[in-house]
């Protein structure tokens, strides 16, 4: 292995491990789903003999998932999926865990980022767990000889699933992948509540500004955009939604938000949050129309939603005005502030902690049972993108309800028969 582990890159790995271990233990005690899964996996070791390569946001909640996979018997190699989202102390703590090797480091350049991904691939994985698709793409492009020995994998986020579906449509995805992002337990909680809460809290902590009374422009009204809009409205902001999909635009309108084109919204907005997963959502024509002092943040996976190259070309000055806030001064004196270099604000800002612990407990619970499913029943899945079996998603929901002490009703035999029959009429 030529690429150094995080331990080899730190000047004081022992102190880092101690700090990271505290973060992991705090997260784990608030993750009842992962606790239940860990007990089952530890007793049954369903991943014995497997090698899991992971490219994820390496922070405390991800570390819990990583440890649980190792406790299930797997050898795990992990790195980051974003140059700014890794917590070095958590990465160092993971690297000290039996069965885990961590290459994740914060603030790496593109060459180092991809070298670390290749280092995880050098472990010859049999399973991949990805967030954004870079790991799967690297295997297909540079290590096709490994594909036959990979039983399958899981993809965590919207952008990654879109990339995988495009690969699948082109006949270029050569092993099975679960679209974990598309399960109800992921979309309804992680995407809505996780993205909404974490994005706004990190914007507030990074800027020390309030949302109350401000015009908050939310680009995109998918599950992530819905969460940001709902949470911003709950903090007494006026929310303006921009969309390209007519039904989502109507949904936002019917839910009480102002809906406008980005050209219109650019003139009104105080804070902009992009959540589309697409590129060039905010570009030169929008910068030209913005007010002095606006704040731009991205909650999509890659830093392509805000055209930073275009903004830089327009600017006559550029400086860091707060930790994590870069000010671009335009020729007429207006200032546009960009957070976290346009990267995923809830994970890449200087104070970022990612989604709340309880939310990621649900998402990573789904990830864990999907890895088990792919290993135990890989013959049932052909190459391509697969929906997560609904019984697995329900299993995770039931664990969470039990942990919360919540009881729900069950259908009677008569009700089940009624719902399953077409013969009952008026």
- The pLDDT of residue 163 is 95
Q: Tens of pLDDT along 166-190?
A: 999 999 999 999 999 999 998 889 8
DSSP at 48 = T
Q: What is the pLDDT of residue 351?
A: 86
d(CA 65, CA 56): 10
268-324 per-position pLDDT tens digit: 999 999 999 999 999 999 999 999 999 999 999 889 999 999 999 999 999 999 999
Please choose, from the candidates 11, 6, 4, 24, the residue with its C-alpha nearest in 3D space to the C-alpha of residue 92.
6
pTM, 2 dp: 0.89
Do residues 215 and 268 lie in contact, with contact meaning Cβ atoms separated by under 8 Å? yes
Pairwise CA distance, residues 169 & 156, whole Å: 19
Give dist(CA 168, CA 171) in Å, integer: 5
DSSP state of 146: G
Low-confidence stretches of the chain (pLDDT beneath 70): 1, 426
Helix/strand/coil for 93:
helix
């Amino acid at each position: 292995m030529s690429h150094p582990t995080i331990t080899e890159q730190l000047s004081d790995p022992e102190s880092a491990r101690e700090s990271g271990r505290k973060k992991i233990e705090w997260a784990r005690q608030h993750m009842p789903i992962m606790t239940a899964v860990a007990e089952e996996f530890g007793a049954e070791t369903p991943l014995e003999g497997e090698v899991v390569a992971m490219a994820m946001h390496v922070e405390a909640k991800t570390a819990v998932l990583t440890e649980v996979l190792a406790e299930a018997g797997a050898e795990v190699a992990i790195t980051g999926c974003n140059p700014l989202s890794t917590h070095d102390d958590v990465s160092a703590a993971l690297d000290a865990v039996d069965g885990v090797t961590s290459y994740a480091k914060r603030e790496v350049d593109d060459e180092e980022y991809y070298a670390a991904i290749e280092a995880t691939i050098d472990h010859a994985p049999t399973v991949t767990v990805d967030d954004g698709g870079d790991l799967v793409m690297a295997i297909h492009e540079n290590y096709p000889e490994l594909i036959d020995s990979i039983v399958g994998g899981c993809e965590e986020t919207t952008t990654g699933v879109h990339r995988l579906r495009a690969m699948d449509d082109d006949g270029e995805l050569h092993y099975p992948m679960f679209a974990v992002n598309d399960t109800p337990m992921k979309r309804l909680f992680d995407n809505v509540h996780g993205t909404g809460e974490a994005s706004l809290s990190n914007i507030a902590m990074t800027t020390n500004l309030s949302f109350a009374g401000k015009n908050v422009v939310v680009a995109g009204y998918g599950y992530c955009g819905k969460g940001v809009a709902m949470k911003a409205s709950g903090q007494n902001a006026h929310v303006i939604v921009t969309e390209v999909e007519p039904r989502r635009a109507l949904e936002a309108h019917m839910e009480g938000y102002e809906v406008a084109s980005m050209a219109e919204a650019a003139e009104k907005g105080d804070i902009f949050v992009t959540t589309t997963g697409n590129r060039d959502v905010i570009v030169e024509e929008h910068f030209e129309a913005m007010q002095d002092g606006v704040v731009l943040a991205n909650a999509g996976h890659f830093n392509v939603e805000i055209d930073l190259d275009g903004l830089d070309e327009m600017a006559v000055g550029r400086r860091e005005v707060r930790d994590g806030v870069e000010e671009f001064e335009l020729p007429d004196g207006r200032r546009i502030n960009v957070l976290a270099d346009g990267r995923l604000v809830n994970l890449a800002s200087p104070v970022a902690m990612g989604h709340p612990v309880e939310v990621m407990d649900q998402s990573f619970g789904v990830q864990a049972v999907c890895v088990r499913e792919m290993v135990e029943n890989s013959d049932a899945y052909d190459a391509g993108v697969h929906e997560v079996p609904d019984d697995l998603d329900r299993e995770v929901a039931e664990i969470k309800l039990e942990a919360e002490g919540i009881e729900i009703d069950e259908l009677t035999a008569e009700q089940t028969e009624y719902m399953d029959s077409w013969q009952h009429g008026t």
